[in-house]
Amino acid sequence: MLKRHRLLFLCPLLLLACTIGIAPASILTPVVPVTAVTQVVITQVSAVTIAPTLTETPTPTVAPTLQPTPATTLAPTPIGGGLGLFVYHSGQQNQEDIYVADFDGSDPVNLTNSEGSDVTPRWSPDGGRIVFVSKRDGDLDIFIMNADGSDLLNLTNNGIDDDAPNWSPDGQFIVFSSQRDGNREIYRMRPDGTDVVRLTNDLAFDLNPAYSPDGIQIAFSSNRDSNMEIYLMNADGTQTRRLTDDSATDQYAVWSPDGRAIVFASDRSGDYELYRLVLGTAALQNLTNNLAHDASPSYSPDGTQLLFDSNREGNYEIYRLDLATLAVTRLTHNSTFDADPSWSP
């Protein structure tokens, strides 16, 4: 009976335990907590010496030593401009050679050195060649050579006198005087001697042709009106007209680089002097005035100077004339004959 009452008492308790989720002690297996023991072994770590990373020591940059820049010494501009040279002929009569010299007359160099007479040199517009007259083959012929005297060529080998050559401003033609048709006339040819064209046709002597700077006209001297005067014509020989009108002899005409004036030699004062005529006007200026023979003028490239030959100091020498002041400077000093200068371009 007592056992039965005990069961009756326990039943509600079991029911309550189930309700609240607690297992009875007789049913729940007791859990014994196990403490995990981890054995820690402490080992003394020796200090490690780490070698420092070697960094390549950079080469120190040395600033360059600045050297002072030497002052540039510029060659003086030649008087008259251009290459600062001129050609001329020099020597005893009938034994002349072509020479080239600096603008002040120094350092003359013989370019032809022949046994014949070489005269009247004229520089090409590009400065590369020189045309001149020679009697080395018996008669007067026109020759051409390089500016250093090489590659010599006879352009007019015909047994008749040909002389007074001059270049066209573009270097495509050479005008000259010749008596191949019986009397002195003006002709034109190529620099290789071909394509010869007669430009004048008159019974008089036509001499010393010179192209205008633009190549449109040619100045020349002629005695077709009884005495020697300066004339102009078109480059093809048409429309000839008289430029000077004097009872004296006027010849050796050259153009100023700007084409506005012509300088020529004349004996209108009793001896040969140089005159400058402004085209389109009657303005005539006497450039030289002495008792000597002044002739063969040649303009400098910049138009400020003239070269000419003169016997004012005994024998013929080359002189330079300053057109602004008319001051004259002697350039050659020889006991021989120096004449017919031509300024380099």
Domains of the chain: 85-343 (2.120.10.30)
User: With 50 as the cut, is the pLDDT of residue 116 above it?
Assistant: yes
pLDDT of residue 57: 53
249 vs 22, which has greater pLDDT? 249
Q: How far apart are CA 132 and CA 88, in angstroms?
A: 10
Q: Which CA distances in Å does 79 have to 87, 106, 132, 300, 304?
A: 15, 13, 24, 8, 9
**Per-residue model confidence (pLDDT) at position 241:** 96
pLDDT recorded at residue 67: 59
Q: What is the tens place of the pLDDT at every residue in 231-242?
A: 999 999 999 999
Compute the average pLDDT of residues 293-316: 96
Give pLDDT tens digits for 307-335.
999 999 999 999 999 999 999 999 999 99
Can you give the pLDDT at residue 18? 35
Residue 14 has pLDDT above 80, yes or no: no
Is the C-alpha dihedral spanning 149, 77, 345, 137 positive or negative?
Answer: negative
pLDDT of 63: 54
pLDDT of 30 over the 70 cut: no
The CA distance from 151 to 269, in Å, is: 44
Q: What tokens were used for 102?
A: 């600096």
Q: What is the 3-state secondary structure (H, E, C) of 35-92?
A: CCCCCCCCCCCCCCCCCCCCCCCCCCCCCCCCCCCCCCCCCCCCCCCCCCEEEEEEEC
Lowest mean pLDDT among 66-70, 298-302, 312-316: 66-70
- pLDDT at position 17: 39
Mean pLDDT computed over 147-152: 97
Q: In whole numbers, what is the pLDDT of the chain averaged over residues?
A: 84
What is the pLDDT confidence band of residue 249, given thresholds at 50, 70 and 90?
Answer: very high
* pLDDT (0 to 100) of residue 80: 86
The residue that leads in pLDDT, 243 or 51, is 243
Q: What pLDDT was estimated at residue 74?
A: 52
Q: How far apart are CA 248 and CA 265, in angstroms?
A: 10
The pLDDT confidence band at residue 301, using thresholds 50, 70 and 90, is very high
- As to burial, measured by CB atoms within 10 angstroms (0-12 exposed, 13-18 middle, 19+ buried), residue 140 is buried
- Whether residue 151 contacts residue 196, with contact meaning beta carbons closer than 8 Å, is answered with no
Residues in the chain: 345
Q: Which helix (H) or strand (E) holds 220?
A: strand 217-225
Considering the chain, what percentage of its residues have pLDDT values greater than 70?
78
pLDDT in tens, 168-210: 999 999 999 999 998 999 999 999 999 999 999 999 999 999 9
CA distance readout (Å), 193 to 19, 128, 172, 189: 143, 17, 11, 6
**Above 60 in pLDDT, residue 71?**
no
What is the spatial distance between Cα 105 and Cα 108, in angstroms, rounded to a whole number?
7
Q: Can you give the C-alpha Rg of the chain in angstroms?
A: 54
Return the pLDDT at 42.
39
